[in-house]
Amino acid sequence: MGRGLFYLRLAQRAAARAIAPARDHEATTLDRAMMQRALDLAREAGAMGEVPVGAVVYRGDEIVGEGFNRREVDQDPSAHAEHIAMLDASRRLGSWRLDGCSLAVTLEPCAMCAGLIVNARVPRVVYGARDPKAGFAGSLGNLLVDERLNHRVRPIAGVLERESSELLKRFFAELRKRKR
């Protein structure tokens, strides 16, 4: 590769990084292990007929909160996986501040959950599949890095993305089949 081309690529990569959240390669082995646990929780949700999304809050290598989507079973519009996992973590830690924690969730957080992430001062969020219809961690907007807010989160997108989105795709394909 010529030197000019090399620097062009470098600049392009830097520009792409400025807009998009960091990609999978910035996730650690621990993040990926936690995402595997979140995927297990998502499968639990799917088995209950819920849209399969799962989430884990962890501090170091210790899980301090877990949740999966329970919107149908609870008939609760706020019963999203990461919402439940954060409330679980706050209860267990006895603190509304989750500032020493990371959150792994299989689907990009919506506006409500991104808002809670900011309010709970979670410093790092790792997510799997993008949500082009409701995601507010890069897709429709990004509340996690909004400079007008008093807390900024580091989003790491695309961790076990294929597994996370396959799970969702299979769920919706199955749903369509049953409706026919």
| Binding residues vs Zn ion (CB under 5 A) | 80, 110, 112-113
Residue 132 CB, nearest approach to Zn ion (Å): 15
Q: Which is nearer to Zn ion, 28 or 131 (CB)?
A: 131
CB 44 within 8 A of CB 54: yes
Distance CA 71, CA 48 (A): 11
Q: Which is nearer to Zn ion, 4 or 77 (CB)?
A: 77
Does the active-site annotation cover 82? yes
Residue 67 CB, nearest approach to Zn ion (Å): 11
Residue type, 22: A
Look-up: residue for tokens 């959150």? 103
Q: Which is nearer to Zn ion, 113 or 129 (CB)?
A: 113
CB 136 within 8 A of CB 107: no
CB 65 within 8 A of CB 88: yes
Distance CA 135, CA 141 (A): 7
Of 49, 46, 47, 45, give the one whose Cα is nearest residue 83.
Answer: 45
Residue 159 CB, nearest approach to Zn ion (Å): 17
Residue 76 CB, nearest approach to Zn ion (Å): 12
Q: Provide the CA 130 distance to its chain's centre, in angstroms.
A: 9
Catalytic residue among 50, 82, 108, 161: 82
Which of the residues are catalytic? 82
